[in-house]
Amino acid sequence: MERNLVGDVVDKIGGKVRLKGWVDTVRDHGKITFVDLRDRTGIIQCVGANLERVSPESVVEVIGMVAARPEKLINPKIKTGSVEIQIESLKIISPAAELPFDMGTDDLNLDLPTLLDYRALTLRHPKQQAIFKVQAVIINAFRQALLKKDFVEFQAPSIISSVPEGGAEVFKVKYFDHEAYLSQSPQLYKSLLVGVFERVFSVNQIFRAEPSVTTRHLTEATSLDAEFGFIDSWKDVLEMEEYVVRHIFSEVGKECKNELALFGATLPTLSDKIPVLKLRQAQEIIFERTGRDIRAEKDLAPEDEREICKWSSEEKGSDLVFISHFVTKKKPFYVYADPEDPTYGFSVDLLGRGVEWSSGGQRLNDYEEIIEHIHDWGLKEKDVELYLQSFKYGVPPLGGFALGAERVTMHMLGLKNIREASLFPRDMERIDTRLSETTQK
């Protein structure tokens, strides 16, 4: 007898099924026992008499009849709530040890360190699983959107030989007799590949030796990178990014209804067009709305990001907003300075729900200008040798953007800490297990 999946059982009333999965919860009513069985497609209630004692999270096989539940016992909260399995046999495939905490509640009420100390277990909770199903849909939607537009996927390397943009937050690798580093971004690779494929994207791990423990930083994260050539202006970059983000929202909306519902989450609201503000315009608006005069600042502080997102939602009906024209010299060397006022560059952040989701913009493509910027920024040509090689031999006007997969997941679901949006979060104090006994207690 083949295995049946929980998700396929509802229309098999009166039939016999063979289910395999995990014991989600056990409710022992004396002779009668209720066992909720969980597999990759859902949860179903099974009921039997004189069953062998079985512990939650054990892997079991249940053979039984599918029966309709009486009207008043129907559970509208789960998809299989109109039926139950009358157990004929229950076999333990792999027993679970006693759980360190109750897993059978709608929410896992654990503090973050405990959630992570027991990561292999806590990920099994349906709400934890949901986070990463949404993340997988986000990442796949990113790819599919770009494949439709002729982008070529590439695999970005993680080990790099130099750190042109300064090494404060870079991890060092002992590379045979040399020193190497972990890549903070595939920026230079994706740009140089525009000279090859015109349009490229990658999904890859990036690394930052962030020396502090915050709710929004990880030392290893997943970056969704896109870059393309033959743009007519920096606004083409925004258009492509908006197209990708809308595709992601649409796919999550279609594929993740249940997952969003578990978190009481709704997709960000978008109007016809994501508003675009220059940094200085955004600062003016913040000044007008709050009286805080930040108009001379070179960047937006976290509270500014929250305020401008509030403005965008209230005034423009858009939970997302682009901020452009940051101060050129505060950006990396490849930023394209606005010819009308080179103090500001064609760099663009996408903010959503109060925080930065992505950064991007137009990049320099003229070889001589790139060389000039490298010198102005105090860098060495030798450290960007391969990158320069590309531009020496002709690259069209180009731009691109990078979305943080964990950030997008976090803010789509309303999570409080970015660690919740990473399967195996790494920070200064933790690589799976705690790095020292005294931390995070």
Positions annotated as catalytic residues are: 208, 210, 216-217, 356, 359, 407
Task: Kindly write out the interface string for residues 308-347 of this chain, putting x where it contacts a copy of itself by CB under 8 A and - elsewhere.
Answer: ----------------------------------------
213 in contact with a copy of itself (CB under 8 A): no
Among residues 78, 123, 379, 415, the one that binds a copy of itself under rule CB under 8 A:
123
Name the residue nearer to a copy of itself (CB basis): 209 or 355. 209
The site for a copy of itself, by CB under 8 A, has a size of 93
Among residues 40, 53, 77, 441, the one that binds a copy of itself under rule CB under 8 A:
40
Among residues 36, 165, 220, 420, the one that binds a copy of itself under rule CB under 8 A:
220
Tokens found for residue 126: 């349906």
Say if CB 300 and CB 279 are below 8 A apart. yes
Name the residue nearer to a copy of itself (CB basis): 236 or 284. 236
User: How many CB atoms within 10 Å of residue 49?
Assistant: 11
CB burial readout 175-208, b (16+ within 10 A) else e: eeeeebbbbbbbbbbbbbbbbebbbbbbbbebbb
Residue with tokens 């594929």: 255
Tell me how far apart the alpha carbons of residues 362 and 399 are, in angstroms, rounded to a whole number: 4
**Scanning residues 250 to 279, which ones bind a copy of itself (CB under 8 A)?**
none
Name the residue nearer to a copy of itself (CB basis): 63 or 173. 173
Say if CB 326 and CB 345 are below 8 A apart. yes
Q: What residues have CB less than 8 Å from 384, skipping those under 6 apart? A: 162, 164, 188, 374
Q: What residues have CB less than 8 Å from 210, skipping those under 6 apart? A: 169, 217, 218, 219, 427, 428
136 in contact with a copy of itself (CB under 8 A): yes
Amino acid at 167: G
Name the residue nearer to a copy of itself (CB basis): 57 or 338. 57
Residue with tokens 């750190």: 163
Tell me how far apart the alpha carbons of residues 259 and 125 are, in angstroms, rounded to a whole number: 12
DSSP 151-169: -EE----SEES--TT-STT
- Taking the complex as a whole, the smallest distance from the CB of residue 20 to a copy of itself amounts, in Å, to 5
Say if CB 351 and CB 313 are below 8 A apart. no
101 in contact with a copy of itself (CB under 8 A): no
Tell me how far apart the alpha carbons of residues 374 and 381 are, in angstroms, rounded to a whole number: 7
185 in contact with a copy of itself (CB under 8 A): no
Among residues 182, 237, 403, 408, the one that binds a copy of itself under rule CB under 8 A:
182
Longest dimension (CA), the chain: 83
Name the residue nearer to a copy of itself (CB basis): 27 or 172. 172
**Scanning residues 401 to 420, which ones bind a copy of itself (CB under 8 A)?**
405
Task: Kindly write out the interface string for residues 10-39 of this chain, putting x where it contacts a copy of itself by CB under 8 A and - elsewhere.
Answer: ----------x-xx---------------x
- Taking the complex as a whole, the smallest distance from the CB of residue 251 to a copy of itself amounts, in Å, to 13
- Taking the complex as a whole, the smallest distance from the CB of residue 318 to a copy of itself amounts, in Å, to 28
**Scanning residues 223 to 242, which ones bind a copy of itself (CB under 8 A)?**
230
Amino acid at 440: Q
Tell me how far apart the alpha carbons of residues 62 and 85 are, in angstroms, rounded to a whole number: 9
Among residues 198, 242, 251, 356, the one that binds a copy of itself under rule CB under 8 A:
198
Residue 226 Ramachandran class (φ > 0 left, ψ -120 to 50 alpha, else beta): beta
CB burial readout 72-106, b (16+ within 10 A) else e: eeeeeebbbbebbbebeebeeeeebeeeeeebeee
**Scanning residues 41 to 80, which ones bind a copy of itself (CB under 8 A)?**
41, 57-59
159 in contact with a copy of itself (CB under 8 A): yes
**Scanning residues 371 to 400, which ones bind a copy of itself (CB under 8 A)?**
385-387, 389-390, 392-397
- Taking the complex as a whole, the smallest distance from the CB of residue 222 to a copy of itself amounts, in Å, to 5
Among residues 29, 31, 94, 340, the one that binds a copy of itself under rule CB under 8 A:
94
Among residues 65, 173, 270, 327, the one that binds a copy of itself under rule CB under 8 A:
173
